[in-house]
Structure 1
C-alpha cells in the first residue's frame, strides 16, 4: 500500500530500508524523547524491520517509510496495535 501527496510518498518498508532505519534510530537527537528507540548496531535495525514487516503481514498496516520526492529518508510514521490499561488500542506514530 502507498499513499502519495504532492510532497511525500508513504510506503511499506522493505529490506532496502534497513540502513535508513539504522541511520535514523542511531541519531541521538531522533530518540531524545524516547531513548528506548535508540539503536547501536545494524542488527538491531534488521530486527526492528522484521517486527514491522511481521505486523504488516499480520494486520495489513504498520509503519510507513516517509520519503520526500527523493531517496532521502525523513523518518518513520505509522500505526501500531498495543494495549493501554488492558484495552487494545492503535498507537498512531
Structure 2
C-alpha cells in the first residue's frame, strides 16, 4: 500500500511517498521487527553494555534513558511509519540487536538515519550489513529521503559496513562531542 503522507521534520513540513510500514522484514538469517514494550530488557542489556558503546562518546545508557529511547522509537513508528527494529536471529528468535531507519533533519533537509547496535556475541557474523542492506533496499524503493550513516571516526567496523553498502564518505561532523564520519547513500 503506497500513498502520500505529510511529514514534519525539524519543524518543516514536506510530502513523502510511503508504503505500508515495514513492521517486519525477513532476510536470509534475520527477522527485523517493530520494537515493543517486550523488548525493553534486551534494549537495556544492549544499550547499557560498555562494550557495545566503545565508540559512543556519551557511553552506555542507563535503564531510564533506554526507556526514553523505546518511547521515542515507538513514537517514530506512530508518526512517520518508520523506525528502528528489534533484530532477531530467524532460527532461534534471539534478539541480538536493534537498528533500522529513523527520520531526522540533516543539513537542513529530511534524511533517514541508519542505526544499529548488536550484542558483542553477534559481532563478526555480517548481521549489521545484512540488516542495513534490507533497510536501505526498502527505503530506496519507497522513501524520497537519502539514507545517512553517521559513525565515530574510530569505528572502523561501521565504516566497513557503509563501504559494503556502497555509501561514499561525504564528510565529517562533530556528533555528541566527537568527530564522526558521514556516509550518504547513492540513489539508484
TM-score, L = length of structure 2: 0.46
- Matching of residue 3 in structure 1 with residue 29 in structure 2: no
Partner of 1:24: 46
Q: Considering only aligned residues, what root-mean-square deviation do their CA atoms show, in Å? A: 1.5
Which structure has more RCO (C-alpha within 8 Å, separation ≥ 6)? 1
Partner residue of 1:67 out of 88, 97, 108? 88
Q: Is the 8 A contact 1:19 1:45 kept in 2?
A: no
Residues 82 and 35 (structure 1 numbering): CA distance in 2 closer, same or farther, change over 3 Å? Answer: same
Partner residue of 1:54 out of 61, 69, 75? 75
Q: CA deviation at 1:37?
A: 6.0
Partner of 2:119: none
Partner of 1:36: 58
- Structure with greater proportional strand content: 2
Q: Deviations over 1:7-26 (max 9, x none)?
A: 11110001000000000011
Work out the CA distance in 1 between the residues paired with 2:92 and 2:43: 16
TM-score, L = length of structure 1: 0.88
Partner of 2:66: 45
- Matching of residue 76 in structure 1 with residue 98 in structure 2: yes
Q: Deviations over 1:25-76 (max 9, x none)?
A: 1111111112336212x22221111000000000111001100022422111
Name which one, 1 or 2, has greater alpha-carbon Rg.
Answer: 2
Work out the CA distance in 1 between the residues paired with 2:48 and 2:57: 10
Runs of 4+ in 1 over 4 A off after TM superposition: none
Aligned length: 92
Q: Is the 8 A contact 2:82 2:103 kept in 1?
A: no
